[in-house]
Amino acid sequence: MLKKFFPYYRPHLNIFIPDMLASLLVALIGLAYPIITRKMLNDFIPDRQYAMIVAFGMALLALYTARMLLNYYIQYKGHMMGVYMQAQMRRDMFNHLEKLPFSFYDRNETGKIMSRMTNDLMDISELAHHGPENLIISTISIIASFTYLATINIFLTLIIFLAVPLLLVIAYFLRKRMRDAFMRGRQSIAKINASVESSISGIRVTKAFTNSEKEAEKFEDGNEEFVKARRDSYKAMGQFHSGTTFVTDIFNVIILIAGGLFLYEGKIELGDYTAFIVSVNMFINPVMTLINFMEQYQSGITGFERFIEIMNEAPEKDAPASEDIERINGHIEIKDVTCRYDTDMPVLKGVSLDIKAGETFALVGPSGGGKTTICHLIPHFYDIEEGSICIDGRDIREFTLESLRRNIGIVQQDIYLFNSSIRDNILYGRLDATEEEVIDAAKRANIHDYVMSLDNGYDTEIGERGVRLSGGQKQRLSIARVFLKNPPVLILDEATSALDNTTEILIQQALNELCRGRTTLVVAHRLSTIKNADKIAVVDGGKIIQLGTHEELIKEDGMYSQLYNLQFRANSGEQITGAGSLAESLLKLG
């Protein structure tokens, strides 16, 4: 674990080395007071050397002034070094998260990921700054103070030193308990963050269904878990501190008794005894610093472990011999593909499709049948278990992921828009596009006139996830984004299913324009929207159960014709009853 931590110091050695030197000087200056105290008690005061008393006092003041400046550097620059390291770790995590596959986000909640990027890394920066300082400087201070105390009286020094193993034993047995407690605390904070993120994102649904009490109940579950985890953490911390403090109190008792006996027996002078009592804190304080450092170490290292867990997640990788492809023609062949997610049950079982370049190909069937999975496999969002997917006669694994996805545009039912301007959201399709190209894309998506009716036009901020736009406006904005990208392959995954009829007609016009000249894969529940598709595949249970044109599938009198007739009769207002009712069929369709 530490081998992965230390490399983050390398870019900041220009701060780290002076920080360690400053800390060392601060520790050495700490030796001045007891040394001067001993000299005064044994020599200057008994010999009435007043000039030396003043001179050494002024020298001590100068050293303390230097220590003040050194402490300023340590606190300012040392902490900034920790911040720089934290920022680098956060940057590395963000870049790594950008490379992780869909399957990672299927397993992990956004709030928990955010907790690892924020809360966990905060304690890491403190460990990065104070860790080496406490470990290295305290060790040096212990050695230096032990040497100095030994010059006063070796036997008293050895008696105190023998009590150190007791501190180490206490730290050893309580360390694991603290570590486990801190880890549970971090997990509970992540759970709270996930709950808050989910509740805030869904606040409109919560209000619409008046379920604020349910959300409060879900939040309180995590909050109680946090309190319990913190209780365990502070209990372990309390045991740790009280135990170590008791041992240091024993130090003072030992010094008092043993020193008194040595003084009574004439084995130590009064001045040396007084200096020893004053100086013994030079030994005890760094020992306690190391003991207390265990708490900081446990807090920081548990955060770093959770950071490493993310960094150890396997990112998406291009195949060793993959090539960057400029532009594809769009002939897609899916050959005997079997795919599963994290479950044992395959989502697709031996699926084969042949989609010609420039063809419009539709997928219909019940929800959960595998339609969206097929759409996700073409841009290689997931790996397949068996079979192959080829574009223009080449396996998509022969292409780099970036160049493959650059050639594919996706319009989904659930549109994600960024909390920025209309222009920025359209530019997401191609960041180097000109203003004229942005406007042209908006016109082709039938949203330019609406944009120009706004006070700020294309500079209008649309809010989180485009909350200030209607469903149709968000959909048209996403279509403009794809127009700007201009991909040869287009995937429309339920692009109009959540819209009213008037808006759907407007958007369908934009989609028809968008599909022209492209290989288009359409997923639709409204069968009337895909009647003119070149080919239609019915997907159910991870298999292709029907394949043909609209007219061919109607004649087969299979699932497609049944679903189409049900929707046609429903649209015409005919009442349907019995086992084959529209309600049951629509439930099956999802």
CATH number, residue 122: 1.20.1560.10
Please check whether residue 167 lies inside any domain of the structure.
Answer: yes
Dump the DSSP string for 553-586: HHHHTSHHHHHHHHHHHHHTT----STT-HHHHH
Domain count, the chain: 3
pLDDT at 132: 82
Residue 34: inside a domain: yes
Give the structural domain span for 129. 2-311
The predicted structure's pLDDT at residue 203: 65
Query: Does 37 map to a domain?
Result: yes
Same domain, 438 and 494: no
Which of 265, 284, 311 marks a domain boundary?
311
Same-domain check for residues 151 and 294: yes
As a whole number of Å, the end-to-end CA separation of the chain is 48
Residue 43: what pLDDT? 79
For residue 341, is it within any domain? yes
Q: Is there a single domain that holds both residue 244 and residue 342?
A: no
Pair (446, 371) in one structural domain: no
Contacts of 16 (CB under 8 A, 6+ apart): 9, 81, 132
DSSP reduced 3-state for 540: strand
pLDDT of 186 reads 66
What 8-state DSSP symbol labels residue 315? P
Q: How far apart are CA 141 and CA 38, in angstroms?
A: 18
Q: State whether 201 and 120 are in the same domain.
A: yes
CA distance 458 to 474: 14
On whether residue 387 sits in a domain, the answer given is yes
Orientation angle between helical segments 79-99 and 270-311, nearest 10 degrees: 20
| Nearest CA-CA partner of 240 in 297, 293, 170 | 170
Rounded CA separation 453/194 (Å): 38
Looking at the structure, do residues 424 and 374 belong to the same domain, yes or no? Answer: no
Residue 223 falls within a domain, yes or no?
Answer: yes
How many C-beta neighbours within 10 Å does residue 346 have?
20
| HSE value, Cβ hemisphere, 13 Å, CA-based, for 301 | 18
Please indicate, yes or no, whether residues 163 and 220 belong to a single structural domain of this protein. yes
Q: How many CA atoms lie within 13 A of 237 on its CB side?
A: 16
Q: Helices (DSSP H) in 334-434: which residue ranges? A: 371-377, 401-406, 422-427
Q: Which helix (H) or strand (E) holds 338?
A: strand 332-339
In this prediction, residue 333 carries a pLDDT of: 94
Asked if 219 and 332 sit in the same domain, the reply is no
Among candidate residues 329, 330, 322, the one with its CA nearest the CA of residue 400: 322
Per-residue pLDDT of the chain (590 residues; tens, 9 = 90+): 667 888 888 888 899 899 889 988 888 887 787 778 777 877 777 778 888 888 888 988 898 899 899 989 988 888 888 888 888 888 888 888 888 888 888 888 777 787 777 777 777 777 887 788 788 778 888 888 888 888 888 888 888 777 777 767 776 676 667 667 766 776 777 677 666 766 666 665 565 656 677 777 777 777 787 777 778 777 877 777 777 777 777 777 877 888 888 888 888 887 777 777 777 777 777 877 777 777 677 777 877 888 888 889 888 888 888 899 888 999 999 999 998 876 667 888 999 999 999 999 999 988 888 888 899 999 998 888 889 999 999 999 999 998 998 999 888 877 778 878 899 889 988 888 999 999 998 988 888 988 999 889 999 888 777 778 887 888 888 888 888 888 999 998 876 655 556 666 767 777 777 788 889 998 887 777 788 889 999 998 889 999 999 899 888 888 888 888 877 665 554 443 333 333 344 334 43
Q: Note whether 358 and 467 are same-domain residues.
A: no
Sheet strands side by side (includes 408-412): 408-412, 489-493, 519-523, 360-364, 535-540, 543-548
* Per-residue pLDDT at 434: 92
Residues 44 and 144 in one domain: yes
Position 439 scores a pLDDT of 92
Is 319 inside a domain boundary? no
180 and 85 in a single domain? The answer is yes
Report the distance separating Cα 181 and Cα 41, nearest Å: 49
Secondary structure class of 364 (helix, strand, coil): strand
Question: Strands, E, within 119-260: which ranges?
Answer: none
Residue 391 has a CB neighbour count (10 Å cut-off) of 25
Q: How distant, in Å, are the alpha carbons of 149, 552, 553, 569, 581 from that of 559?
A: 92, 12, 9, 15, 14
Looking at the structure, do residues 78 and 97 belong to the same domain, yes or no? yes
Q: Strands 386-391 and 543-548, how do they pair?
A: unpaired
Query: Is the residue at 590 inside a domain?
Result: no
Question: What's the CATH code of the domain at 444?
Answer: 3.40.50.300
Tokens of 378: 């073409």
Which of 263, 279, 311 is the last residue in one of the domains? 311
